[in-house]
Amino acid sequence: MARLFLGIDSSTQSLSAVVIDLDTHKVVCEKSINFDAALPQFKTKNGVLPGRDPLVKHSPPLLWVAALDLLFAQLKKDKVALGKVLAVSGCGQQHGSVYLNEKATAVLAALDPKKSLVENLDGIFARKTAPIWMDSSTAKECAEIRKKLGGIKFTASRTGSDTFERFTGPQIRKFYKTEPKAYEKTASIALVSSFMASLLAGKIAPIDFGDGAGMNLMDIRRKNWNPDALKATAPSLVKKLPLLAESGRVIGKVSPYFVEKFGLNPEALATVWTGDNPASVLGLGLIKPGQVAISLGTSDTFFGTMEKCLTDENGEGHVFGSPTGGYMTLICFKNGSLAREKIREHYKISDWKKFGQLLAQTPPGNGDAILLPWFEAEIVPRINKPGIHRFDLDEKNAAANCRAIFEAQALSMRLHSQWMQVAPEKILATGGASNDRALLQVLADVMNCRVQRIEVSKSAALGAALQAAHGWLVAAGQNPKWEKLTTGFCDPVPGSEIKPDKAAARIYDRLVEKYAACESEAMEAVETSKL
Ligand code: XUL
């Protein structure tokens, strides 16, 4: 009998499933439910409820619940062999929080298959909506918690990150301050990931070390709730938070609801879910310490894996527990494709091929010219006031500006990932802009390491399916190796490897120093409003 494993990704705009076959090492099915299109009655736009305050971003948890019913119905309709699924795992958009009342435990334990999941769960919420990762309305709470924890460096070294508006601790504090009665009625606080896992398991699920690290509440080294962080956030929090556990750990058998309604294997195991980024790290095959992937999208994201826990004392990067047991880091640069496109538009360059040709007319290092492309407020480094800064760079020189934007982004990644103390052997590049060889060559030269493209469809849901398989094998008393488990699922694109040019790499070893100095100068000037 085929050994199938189901991974589910509960993301901002959709709920996706990937089913893998562990014997053939093949993906047997991929399915997605788009929230706005499939469930218009929840009135979301891109999965988020419209509202008056642009800083507030919430979603209705019942939307995710309804989508889970639809997803399973679709899998059944497509004749996916749900009866052969041995374990289910998943991941969720990080940081979002769901507030449950005292009825939740009993309701979860007795889900009635004759009713929909929404009808079953309607009465279990202490808060109708869930703040999600796009919410940035908690600047005050961030400052309060950071202060109580002893500043940026200490907050980051204890919880893995400085306080951030979207992180769950500051969100919980805001809820406690603004709706104290509803906070008091909250019996249990879940993350999106642990909430969805609870539906599958039919009981309150643990939060894992990956997603738990995105809360500013978990001790990143000891992997338990940090009493000081809990105290700095809200009262009685320890009673409201579930247990912490490693992702993929078996919680129990799946709820009979899914067995009776959709024909899921009654012996299938429900496991602990994780965050979408930790799951993607797995889905991209980053299973050994020191492996790095860069996703070149609207924002550029740097993912790295580390064996030991090091934290960023500047508080710019995040450290989460990795599903493979060590640690992973996530550094998000907001001015990614967005900034590249702005430069292309500014110089009226028709396409990326032409852009690459212009770039090739200039030498690596660009004659020491530097561009700081903060078209939007930047996350890394923290820049609240957008602005473009040129140092020894002529704005009229289109070719030099084309090179400058790519070099700036790669130099910034090199500079701001130094705290990880990881010298990658190879960087995997993914996302829309990873098709651009000119960009990847600059990346290889600046990082002085090989760069190869990887294209994995639904990497988060795939990571979750692999996590389900791992959890099941562990529960069966085996000692599965991640390397063996991931073989064939996430291989980089053959023939796409780019080698660094040694002479160019030496130039960038020097230029990164100048880049850092320009960055400090511009940041100081922004702070003192000289620019
Ligand atoms: C990570 C973050 C986002 C969400 C997106 O810190 O906020 O990547 O996880 O789903």
Phi, psi of 415 (to 5 degrees): -65, -45
Residue 90 to residues 83, 274, 356, 480, Cα–Cα distance (Å) = 18, 7, 39, 19
400-411: pLDDT as tens digits: 999 999 999 999
User: Which H or E run includes 230?
Assistant: helix 227-233
443-473: string of b/e by CB count within 10 Å (b at 16+)? bbbbbbbebbbbebebbbbbbbbbbbbbbbb
Atom 5 of ligand 1, nearest CA residue: 93
Q: CB-side exposure of 459: number of CA atoms within 13 Å? A: 21
| Interval between CA 395 and ligand 1 midpoint (Å) | 35
Give me the pLDDT at residue 1, please.
78
Residue 46 CA to ligand 1 center (angstroms) comes to 15
- Note the pLDDT tens digit of each residue in 483-517: 999 999 999 999 999 999 999 999 999 999 999 99
pLDDT digits (tens, 9 = 90+) for 433-474: 899 999 999 999 999 999 999 999 999 999 999 999 999 999
Specify the ligand 1 atom closest to the Cα of 214: 6
Helices vs. strands in the chain: H and E counts, helices first: 21, 21
Tokens 């488990």 belong to residue: 485
Q: Which one is predicted more confidently, 1 or 403? A: 403
Q: Is the pLDDT of residue 68 over 70?
A: yes
Task: Give which of 73, 79, 63 is closest to 10, Cα–Cα.
Answer: 63
**Atom from ligand 1 closest to the CA of residue 93:** 10
Contact 112, 261 (CB under 8 A): no
- Residues 497, 429: Cα–Cα separation, whole Å: 10
Query: Is the predicted pLDDT of residue 530 greater than 60, yes or no?
Result: no
Smallest CA-to-CA distance from 94 within 222, 212, 217 is with 212
What's the chain's Rg over C-alpha atoms? Answer: 23
Q: How far is the CA of 413 from the centre of ligand 1 (A)?
A: 18
295 — pLDDT class (breaks 50, 70, 90)? very high
- For the stretch 104-149, pLDDT in tens is 999 999 999 999 999 999 999 999 999 999 999 999 999 999 999 9
Q: What is the pLDDT of residue 298?
A: 87
Using DSSP's 3-state secondary structure scheme, residue 322 falls into coil
Residue located nearest, by CA, to atom 2 of ligand 1: 94
Binning pLDDT at 50, 70 and 90, where does residue 385 land? confident
Burial degree of 524 (CB within 10 A; 0-12, 13-18, 19+): exposed
Whose C-alpha lies nearest to ligand 1, atom 1?
A: 94
Task: Flag whether pLDDT at 211 surpasses 80.
Answer: yes
485 phi and psi, to 5 degrees?
-65, -40
The single residue listed with the structure tokens 């934290």 is 311
The rounded Å distance from CA 495 to ligand 1 centre is 31
Q: Which of 113-117, 180-184, 328-332, 522-526 has the lowest mean pLDDT?
A: 522-526
Q: Closest Cα to atom 3, ligand 1: which residue?
A: 94
What is the distance in A from the centroid of ligand 1 to the CA of 330?
A: 9
For 73-99, how does the pLDDT look when each residue is reduced to its tens digit (9 = 90+)? 999 999 999 999 999 999 999 999 999
- Could you tell which of 95, 171, 299, 319 is best to mutate to test the pocket of ligand 1, judged by most ligand atoms within 8 Å of the CB? 95
Ligand 1 atom 9: residue of nearest CA: 94
Q: What phi and psi values does residue 353 have, to the nearest 5 degrees?
A: -65, -45
**Ligand 1 cavity residues, CB under 6 Å:** 11-12, 93-95, 133, 166, 214, 275-277, 330
pLDDT-derived band at 204, boundaries 50, 70, 90 = very high
How many of the other CB atoms lie within 10 Å of CB of 110?
A: 11
**For residues 185-198, average pLDDT:** 98
CA of 277 to the centre of ligand 1 (A): 7
Q: Is the pLDDT of residue 531 over 70?
A: no
Distance 161 CA to ligand 1 centre (A): 13
Distance 133 CA to ligand 1 centre (A): 6
Q: Mean pLDDT over all residues of the chain?
A: 96
Q: Return the SS3 of 431.
A: coil
Which residue's CA lies nearest to atom 7 of ligand 1?
A: 133
Cα-to-centroid distance, 270 and ligand 1 (Å) = 24
Atom number, ligand 1, closest to the C-alpha of residue 11: 10
* Ligand 1 centroid to residue 460 C-alpha, Å: 12
Residue 529 clears pLDDT 70, i.e. is over it:
no
Phi, psi of 147 (to 5 degrees): -65, -45
Q: Name 492's Cβ contacts closer than 8 Å, sequence gap at least 6.
A: 428, 452, 453, 454
Residue with CA at minimum distance from ligand 1 atom 6: 94
**Among 276, 333, 458, which is best to mutate for testing ligand 1, by the most ligand atoms less than 8 A from CB?**
276
